[in-house]
Amino acid sequence: METYLRYSGSWTRCAEQLHLHVNSVRYRIQRVQDLTGRDLSCPEDQVDFFLALRIG
């Protein structure tokens, strides 16, 4: 999640940084969205995740 947010939601850059296939990143982010009920295309939800990572 942190890497995804660091690269502003870029699937490709995130996948390259994590040495994963782009589809793996998409699947993982979709899974997070399904579990949390948040939409990471929404800036407000991105900020919430960013702050949660900084607090934790």
Q: What is the CATH number of the domain that holds 50?
A: 1.10.10.2840
Res 56: pLDDT? 72
With tokens 């782009």, the residue in question is: 22
Res 51: pLDDT? 95
Model pTM? 0.84
Res 41: pLDDT? 92
DSSP-derived letter for residue 37 is T
> Per-residue pLDDT for the chain (56 aa), expressed as one digit of tens each?
999 999 999 999 999 999 999 999 999 999 999 999 999 999 999 999 999 999 97
54 burial (CB, 10 Å; 0-12 / 13-18 / 19+) is exposed
CA distance 13 to 16: 5
When divided into structural domains, the chain yields a total of: 1
For the chain, how long is the longest CA-to-CA vector?
Answer: 29
Residue span of the structural domain in which 30 resides: 2-55
Contact 46, 40 (CB under 8 A): yes
